Amino acid sequence: MKLTPEIKKHFEDRTSKHIKLVQKYCKILEDKDASLKGLIARGEEHDQSKYGTNEMDPYIWLTWRYKCEDDGTECELPPGMEAKIKKATEHHILNNAHHPEYHSDRKTGLLAKGDRDKPSSKIVNATKMKPLDIAEMVADWCAMAEERGNTPKSWADKNVNIRWKFTLEQKTQIYKLIDLAWGSKEKKMLKTAGQ
């Protein structure tokens, strides 16, 4: 498959939308919790590495692949792109403090084989994450949940101390921040679902 203007525009539109959503949740959290001063500024820099030479081309294709999966259409990646996506993902998580992997002493084996969105074979130690790193991570999860039509709590339940190892204090902070940023939405979604 050849890179087309449509594929590139989809990446630009989706990435821009995602960053704006992260910024929205960073603002909500900083406005509600004075200890998170600086989070809005962190949101302004969120995911900028995706526009750099180490990440952009593979992320264009990764974003397109997700779109095709959502649409139920086939997506043929250029030869060798799968390996480039893995390398770009590793670069991204190792160079952005809102990802738990950034804080791990381990720098390899951080991604699951075959599915970058699943836990790797060994839990990643995220206990060195600072409160602002965790808050930006939660804002990212909230943005993704809004985009995907699910909840950040469901993502946390699948990953906290399963994919990423957090201290009890960090785990408490994660769920508190999810409730601050998303709480009323979560309750509305559960009510609508009849739970």
Give the tens place of pLDDT for each residue, 52-74. 999 999 999 999 999 999 999 99
4/23 Cα distance (integer angstroms): 29
What is the reported pLDDT for 30? 97
pLDDT classification of 126: cutoffs 50, 70, 90: very high
What is the reported pLDDT for 118? 82
79/2 Cα distance (integer angstroms): 11
Tens digits of residue pLDDT in 74-122: 999 999 999 999 999 999 999 999 999 999 999 888 888 877 778 888 9
Tens digits of residue pLDDT in 180-193: 999 766 545 544 55
**Helices 81-94 and 56-71 sit at what angle, rounded to 10 degrees?**
110
- Of 98, 16, 20, 82, which Cα lies nearest the Cα of 51? 16
Mean pLDDT, the chain, rounded, equals 92
pLDDT > 50? residue 34 = yes
What is the reported pLDDT for 73? 96
3-state secondary structure of 124: strand
**Beta-carbon contacts of residue 65 (< 8 Å; ≥ 6 apart):** 75, 77
Buried b (16+ CB within 10 A) or exposed e, 37-61: eebbebbeebbebbeeebbebbbbb
For the beta carbon of residue 20, count every other beta carbon within 10 angstroms: 12
pTM score of the predicted model: 0.92
What is the reported pLDDT for 163? 95
